Amino acid sequence: MNINSFRKTILLHTLSAVPYPLLEKIVRPAVIIPYYHMISDDEVIHIKHLYRHKNIKEFTQALEFLLQNYTPLSLMELIDIITKGGALPEKAFLLTFDDGFREMSDIVAPILIEKGIPATFFINTAFIDNKEMCYQHEASILEEYLRNNCLSQEVMRKTAEILQGQSPCSKGRTPLMVMFRERELLHDIAKVVGYDFNDYLMRNKPYLTSEQIRRLLNQGFTIGAHSINHPLYSALSLEDQLYQTSKSIRDIKDRFGLKYGAFAFPHTDHGVSKEFFIEIYKTGLVDISFGTSGIMDDIFYRNMQRINFERPLLPVQNIMSFHLARRFFKNITGNGRLTRHCIVD
């Protein structure tokens, strides 16, 4: 853990002791937008080494907290308010989910329907129908395989060479350190160790199918794009950012007959330029977009910031206390609004 992460952890636990009602009254956010990736009581290998997820009990407890303290808001209501003007319901929340895992249909949707909560699911178009897998999910699978199988020294040597470091079983580079632009290395490693990602896709079906997505839409939920294949946007050129965004939104809208365009940045929108937002909104393809900076405003009012309700693994009231206190301190220091840089030629 680096020093910044350590300080954040200490601050989080300290602020968790501050009464939530007091913080909420001080900050009074117009709308809160939580996001999750996975809800399951099971071990999920393709995310096991990336982050810890909330189980069903923790999720339902969070929903009860939200219903007790906030008013559910749908994506379409939010788009209508943003594009046409109008007032948000007092203490509103919009629930969102990223990455398009099949658990959204199997586990999450039935719980939300029972409680009467609308939600939006953001989907990577390349992974629909389990045709491809996110490079980070492949990395988690490989990490699990390398840790739990006795491989020959020759195989380990070749794996280390591919990673351009020491053996993944030592303190050297591991599959989890592979970046988006290097993702083919994961396929090279899989060939060396004899692992078949396609077999995993067929056996586990980690992502939503087209049929499941249509069922979610028929159940009253909304969907949006989460890029094509989950890159970190700050590591892309402006051209590639625009391509990932426009193609994924077009594919989602055309495939499922949507009349709205919603986009959630994979990873984060940190480092994304003014030019990007000006261009995507100018085209009319995107009605609303979402980042991951917590309870924050953005200089582009149609880019809404969301709160991670998965990490850390604390009760949701503690997570909310942290984000409310963080926003309070940013307000008094004049940093309550995210700024954007311009691209320098």
pLDDT tens-digit profile, the chain (345 residues): 566 667 666 765 666 567 888 888 888 998 999 999 999 999 999 999 999 999 999 999 999 999 999 999 999 999 999 988 888 888 999 999 999 999 999 999 999 999 999 999 999 999 999 999 999 999 999 999 999 998 999 998 899 889 875 444 444 789 999 999 999 999 999 999 999 999 999 999 999 999 999 999 999 999 999 999 999 999 999 999 999 999 999 999 999 999 999 999 999 999 999 999 999 999 999 999 999 999 999 999 999 999 999 987 788 998 998 899 888 888 877 888 888 888 755
Q: CA nearest 297: which of 34, 86, 31, 89? A: 31
Q: From CA 217, how far away is CA 54, in angstroms rounded? A: 24
| pLDDT for residue 198 | 97
Euclidean distance between CA atoms 248 and 12, whole angstroms: 36
Residues 29, 324 contacting (CB under 8 angstroms): yes
Distance (Å, rounded) from C-alpha 157 to C-alpha 193?
A: 11
Beta bridge partners of 231: none
Model pLDDT, residue 90: 87
Check residue 101 and report its DSSP letter: B
**Which stretches does DSSP call E strand in 214-343?**
222-225, 262-264, 288-291, 297-298, 303-305, 307-308, 337-338
| Continuous segment of H or E residues that includes residue 137 | helix 135-148
Place of tokens 């982050």: 51
Distance in angstroms (rounded) separating the CA atoms of residues 76 and 80 = 6
- Paired residues of 72 in beta bridges: 93
**Angle (deg, nearest 10), helices 3-15 and 316-332:** 110
**Smallest Cα–Cα separation from 233: which of 264, 272, 183, 261?**
272
pLDDT at residue 9, rounded to an integer: 64
342, two tokens: 């311009």
Question: How confident is the model at residue 340, as a pLDDT?
Answer: 86
How far is residue 115's CA from residue 136's CA, in Å, rounded to a whole number?
A: 32
How far apart, in whole angstroms, are the C-alpha atoms of residue 236 and residue 313? 31
Residues in the chain: 345
The residues facing 96 across adjacent strands are: 35, 120
- Could you tell me the domains of the chain? 3-131+207-338 (3.20.20.370), 135-201 (no CATH)
Token pair recorded at residue 223 = 């969907």
Half-sphere exposure in the Cβ direction for 152 (13 Å, CA): 6
CA proximity to 64, closest of 134, 122, 115, 13: 115
Per-residue confidence (pLDDT) for residue 84, from 0 to 100:
87
pLDDT for the residue numbered 344 = 56
Report the number of secondary-structure helices (H) and strands (E) in the chain.
15, 13
Element holding 138 (H helix, E strand): helix 135-148
Closest by CA to 290, choosing from 224, 230, 234, 341, is: 224
What pLDDT score was predicted for residue 166? 45
